[in-house]
Amino acid sequence: MAIAKKTVTVLIADDQTLFREGIKDLLEDEKGINVIGEASNGPEVVAMAKKLKPDVILMDIKLPQMDGVSATRIIRKECPNTNVLILSGFEDEAHVTEAIQAGANGYLSKMLPASELVHALKTFNSEGVMIPQPIMGKLIQGLRQMGTPGYENAPDSLTATEIKVMALLGKGNSNKEIAAALDCSVKTVKNHLNSIFQKLSVNNRTEAVVRAIEKGLISPDDSL
């Protein structure tokens, strides 16, 4: 018997009413996606995230009263089960880097075709990352330019198993899926990730994937 796929609940945060409504209309026609709210500024999206607890927030960076990066930082701390996908017109190194360091799970361009946005939401795994390769390159460059503490000196001494974990993580696999692929427990996968974070001097899964790619430990093709 087939297991029904979980409906992805989405909160849209953008100060442009026409853009919000356009995204909402697009997503409401899709099975498996449920838009449960809209926010037009930073404080509003933070409050709605706490109240509604969506699976995913499509977050613009340039929000009034509180920018999207600051809102992302609060939401990822106070609502850890809510994932933030930045949907922005800014694709420069500084904006991408700042968003990922704030805890965003992914960064998508507003120029993305509608079909690709829908596909991204349907395939995004809450424990994976969503950074297209062109933006991944800018993120790596941005981290270099900003001189992230420990970035250049992070050791390359990941074990063979840890590199396999990173490759699977880059493909968007959850801890449970990684455990199944490696024939180990979820707890073991978490232990591997903690070791990887420490070795690569990173704080989250997205930064770990970026740094592993930059150091040649995994291929960019391993990332979303």
Supply the pLDDT for residue 4: 47
Query: Which residues neighbour 157 within 8 Å (Cβ) at sequence distance 6 or greater?
Result: 199
Residues 154, 207 contacting (CB under 8 angstroms):
no
* pLDDT tens track for 199-216: 888 877 777 887 787 777
Supply the pLDDT for residue 203: 76
Measure Cα distances from 192 to 87, 102, 168, 184, 211 in Å. 31, 23, 12, 11, 16
Measure Cα distances from 105 to 43, 52, 87, 97, 176 in Å. 20, 19, 11, 12, 18
Domains belonging to the chain, first-starting first, are: 8-124 (3.40.50.2300), 146-222 (1.10.10.10)
What single-letter amino acid sits at 195? S
Residue 158 has pLDDT above 90, yes or no: no
In angstroms, the CA 22 to CA 19 distance is 5
Is the pLDDT higher at 173 or at 76?
76
In angstroms, the CA 62 to CA 66 distance is 8
**Which tokens sit at 34?**
């449920």
In angstroms, the CA 137 to CA 116 distance is 19
Local confidence band at 135 (pLDDT 50, 70, 90 cut-offs): low
DSSP β-ladder status, 106-109 and 83-88: parallel
In angstroms, the CA 84 to CA 82 distance is 7
Supply the pLDDT for residue 1: 35
